[in-house]
Amino acid sequence: QVQLVESGGGVVQPGRSLRLSCVASGFTFSTYDIHWVRQAPGKGLEWVAVISYDGSNKNYADSAKGRFTISRDNSKNTVNLQMNSLRGEDTAVYYCARERVGEWVAGVAIDWLDPWGQGTLVTVSS
């Protein structure tokens, strides 16, 4: 079945780095854009970054720009999120999710996230 599995979370000190991975299975990975979305404890969802199906386009939330780098290896069905200069406010469960694209309406593609992985917890603390 279609599945995404995140790994790499853990406890890290402020200012240090961590790399998250998202491994996909059950679908043609190289044809889908992949997103990272995070959720701080007890808070809502926050979009972090997206990488296009071939890795040629990447976009980041302002909170991630300059510190986080998203990449992918289609030969390994994997998307990574390299997180540098981590701060306490980066503490969250990090989810990866596949972007689905449907029909186009009024020049805009209908797109949504499905499925989501189970998440990996990142705790930034000294």
Q: What does the per-residue mask of binding to other proteins show for 6-25, with x meaning CB under 8 A?
A: --------------------
Phi-psi region of 89 (alpha: psi -120 to 50; beta: other; left: phi over 0): alpha
Is 122 a binder of other proteins (CB under 8 A)? Answer: no
Could you write out the DSSP letters of every residue in 44-105? Answer: -EEEEEEE-TTSS-EEE-TTTTTTEEEEEETTTTEEEEEE-S--GGG-EEEEEEEEEEEEEE
Which residue lies nearer to other proteins by CB, 64 or 126?
64
Exactly one of 21, 40, 46, 63 binds other proteins (CB under 8 A); that residue is 46
Q: What does the per-residue mask of binding to other proteins show for 61-100, with x meaning CB under 8 A?
A: x---------------------------------x----x
